[in-house]
Amino acid sequence: MNVPDSAESALHAPTAEVEHAHPTWSTYWKVAVILTLITVAEVWAYYIPSFVASRGFVPTLLILSALKFTIVVMFYMHLKYDHRLFRVLFSGPLLIASLTLLALMFLFGHLHLKVM
Amino acid sequence: MSASVVHTSAPTHAHYTTLGLDNRKVAIWAFIGSECMLFVSLISTYLIYKGRSVIGPFPHETWTDPSTGQVFKPILNIPVTSASTFVLLMSSLFMVLALAAVQNKELPKRTRGERILGNSQLWLFMTALAGTTFLGFQAFEFTSFVHEGLSIRRNLFGSTFFTLTGFHGAHVTAGVIWLSTLLAIDYRRGLGSRDSLLVDICALYWHFVDVVWIVIFTLVYLLK
pLDDT 10s digits, B113-130: 888 888 999 999 999 999
**Residues of chain B neighbouring A29 (CB-CB closer than 8 A):** 93
The dihedral region occupied by B50, where left means phi > 0, alpha psi between -120 and 50, and beta the remainder, is beta
Query: Quick one: pLDDT at residue B21?
Result: 85
Query: Quick one: pLDDT at residue A15?
Result: 42
- What are the residue boundaries of the structural domains of chain B, listed by start? 24-222
Q: Is the pLDDT of residue A107 over 70?
A: yes
Of A28, A58, A72, the CB nearest to B223: A58
C-alpha of B113 from chain center = 28
- What are the residue boundaries of the structural domains of chain A, listed by start? 22-80, 83-116
- What part of B 49-68 touches A (C-beta under 8 Å)? 50
Q: DSSP characters for B15-84?
A: EEETTS-BHHHHHHHHHHHHHHHHHHHHHHHHHHHTT--SSS--SSS-EE-TTT--EE-----HHHHHHH
In which band, very low, low, confident or very high, does the pLDDT at A114 lie, cut at 50, 70 and 90? Answer: low
Q: Is A46 on the interface with B (CB under 8 A)?
A: yes
Q: Look at B207 and A72 and tell me if their CB atoms are within 8 Å.
A: yes
Q: What is the per-residue pLDDT across B150-170, written as a single tens digit (0 to 9) for each?
A: 999 999 999 999 999 999 999
C-alpha of B212 from chain center = 7
Q: Is the pLDDT of residue A113 over 80?
A: no
Q: Is A44 on the interface with B (CB under 8 A)?
A: no
Q: What single-letter amino acid sits at B188? A: R
Query: Quick one: pLDDT at residue B201?
Result: 96
What's the rounded mean pLDDT across residues B60-85?
A: 91
Q: Which site among B44, B107, B119 would you substitute to test the A interface, given the most A Cβ atoms closer than 10 Å to its Cβ?
A: B44
CB atoms under 10 Å from CB of B1, counted, come to 10
In which band, very low, low, confident or very high, does the pLDDT at A16 lie, cut at 50, 70 and 90? Answer: very low
Q: What is the per-residue pLDDT across B98-116, written as a single tens digit (0 to 9) for each?
A: 999 999 888 888 888 888 8
B207 in Cβ contact with A72 (< 8 Å): yes
Of B26, B92, B210, the CB nearest to A85: B26
Of A52, A58, A94, the CB nearest to B36: A94
Q: What single-letter amino acid sits at B113? A: G
Helix axes B156-188, B120-147, angle to 10 degrees: 160
Q: Is A38 on the interface with B (CB under 8 A)?
A: no
Average pLDDT along chain B = 89
Query: Quick one: pLDDT at residue A89?
Result: 93
Work out whether strand B63-64 and strand B71-72 pair parallel, antiparallel, or are unpaired.
Answer: antiparallel
Q: What is the per-residue pLDDT across B181-195, written as a single tens digit (0 to 9) for each?
A: 999 999 999 898 889
Average pLDDT along chain A = 81
Q: What percentage of chain B has pLDDT greater than the value 70?
A: 92
Query: Quick one: pLDDT at residue B203?
Result: 97
Query: Quick one: pLDDT at residue A112?
Result: 63
- Rounded Cα distance between A76 and A79, Å, is 8
Query: Quick one: pLDDT at residue A10?
Result: 39
**Residues of chain B neighbouring A16 (CB-CB closer than 8 A):** 19-21
* Whole-prediction pTM: 0.86
Q: Is A21 on the interface with B (CB under 8 A)?
A: no
How many angstroms separate the Cα of A112 from the Cα of each of A69, A105, B163? 26, 9, 27
What's the rounded mean pLDDT across residues B30-46?
A: 95
Query: Quick one: pLDDT at residue A21?
Result: 66
Q: DSSP characters for A42-74?
A: HHHHHT-HHHHHSTTHHHHHHHHHHHHHHHIII
Query: Quick one: pLDDT at residue A115?
Result: 52
Q: Is A61 on the interface with B (CB under 8 A)?
A: yes
How many angstroms separate the Cα of B85 from the Cα of each of A9, A35, A72, B135? 44, 11, 14, 11
Instruction: Read off φ and ψ for residue B14, nearest 5 degrees.
Output: -70, 145
**Domain range B24-222, its CATH number among 1.20.120.80, 1.20.120.160, 1.10.10.60, 3.30.70.270:** 1.20.120.80
Query: Quick one: pLDDT at residue A88?
Result: 93
Helix H or strand E encompassing B198: helix B196-216
Q: Look at A100 and B78 and tell me if their CB atoms are within 8 Å.
A: no
- What part of B 15-34 touches A (C-beta under 8 Å)? 16-22, 25-26, 29-30, 32-34
Q: What is the per-residue pLDDT across B74-93, written as a single tens digit (0 to 9) for each?
A: 899 999 999 999 999 999 99
Q: Is A10 on the interface with B (CB under 8 A)?
A: no
Q: Is B37 on the interface with A (CB under 8 A)?
A: yes
Query: Quick one: pLDDT at residue A9?
Result: 40
CB atoms under 10 Å from CB of B212, counted, come to 25
**Residues of chain B neighbouring A86 (CB-CB closer than 8 A):** 21, 25-26, 29
Q: Which site among B29, B82, B111 would you substitute to test the A interface, given the most A Cβ atoms closer than 10 Å to its Cβ?
A: B29
Among B224, B210, B217, B207, CA closest to B43: B217
Q: What is the per-residue pLDDT across A47-98, written as a single tens digit (0 to 9) for each?
A: 999 999 999 999 999 999 999 999 999 999 998 888 889 999 999 999 999 9
Beta-bridge partners for B4: B17
